[in-house]
Amino acid sequence: MSPPTGPDDGETFGQRMTASVLRRAVMASLMRCFRAGRPVAQQRRWLTILSNVSRLPHGASMVAANVGGVPGEWVEARSGDAARRVVLYLHGGAYCVGSPATHRALTGRLAPRCAARVFAADYRLAPEHPFPAAVDDAVAAYSGLLAAGYEPAGIFLVGDSAGGGLCLAAALRLREMGLPQPGAMALFSPWTDLSLQQLGPEPPGEVMITRAWTSECAGFYLAGRDAREPLASPVFADLRGLPRVLIQAGTDEVLLPDSERMHARLLASGVPSTLHVFPRRWHVFQLQAGLLRDADRALDEVAAFIRA
């Protein structure tokens, strides 16, 4: 098998230095936070502090909203020239932490690139709200977009990590309910197997999450349910009939096997799927868009995929 590559495997010296600085910053700010045994409330407080120093990118605006009974926020380009196209964004955080505020660096750059409004859903989190609360909220938000008059082909599910797995679970639940599928899904390092059966130790380049932390969060979310339930771990589902999918991941992350297995399962199920693995990149490196060229290129690829 040839080495995995993303759209651009070339790096200038400046980009290597930038990537090195960002890698250390992510490790210092997040890996120390995402630790097994650390109270979830403490992790959330730390993320709130980080989100308070983060700002929406220039050219994007945000307003709090409620769609389908699910709180969240609309993010869109200030130019107001978005087409009748909407992205339902489902944030990562292992189903236990994270919020629309923690992902504004991403949603604020997706909106203008995709010429779309982005609704970042503030879905319920474990352990207070275990599985399938997050799935129910994702489906409710999607149903709310349909009720608002958006055409299914103009709705796109995008999510990172747990949010990526949640996009797949929502699509599966929509199929069960007989509701129309979204136009497509773009997934950043999706977490698709909560059993963690195929994961090895963290690769040397992992700077954000550990297997121990993901295992603990999986336990909080599942609350005794079987990890192999399809809506919890979509890699075990019958995937036929899902819309086209773009998956992006990095070589330096513990969840890379989830992206590779899901891509293979989608193709085997007849679902059009594209997988791009970026060398030397960490878990959800797209959050560093505006600073890291690979992150910008990744979001440009998502925009082209959505606007196709």
Query: What amino acid positions are annotated as catalytic residues?
Result: 161, 253, 283
Q: Using CA atoms, how far apart are residues 255 and 189, in angstroms rounded to an integer?
A: 7
First vs last Cα of the chain: how many Å apart? 29
In whole angstroms, what separates CA 122 from the centre of its chain?
13
| Half-sphere exposure (Cβ direction) of 224: Cα atoms closer than 13 Å | 1
In whole angstroms, what separates CA 49 from the centre of its chain?
21
With residues binned 3-state (H G I as helix, E B as strand, rest as coil), the percentages for the chain, rounded to 5, are 40, 15, 45
Q: Using CA atoms, how far apart are residues 282 and 301, in angstroms rounded to an integer?
A: 18
Q: Using CA atoms, how far apart are residues 286 and 82, in angstroms rounded to an integer?
A: 22
Q: Using CA atoms, how far apart are residues 182 and 179, in angstroms rounded to an integer?
A: 9
Side by side, the strands of the sheet bearing 155-160 are: 60-67, 70-77, 117-121, 86-90, 155-160, 184-188, 245-250, 273-278
Contacts of residue 95, defined as CB under 8 A and 6 or more positions apart, other chains included, come to 125, 126, 131, 134, 162, 166, 217, 218, 220, 221
Residue the block writes with tokens 């040397």:
204
| Half-sphere exposure (Cβ direction) of 78: Cα atoms closer than 13 Å | 6
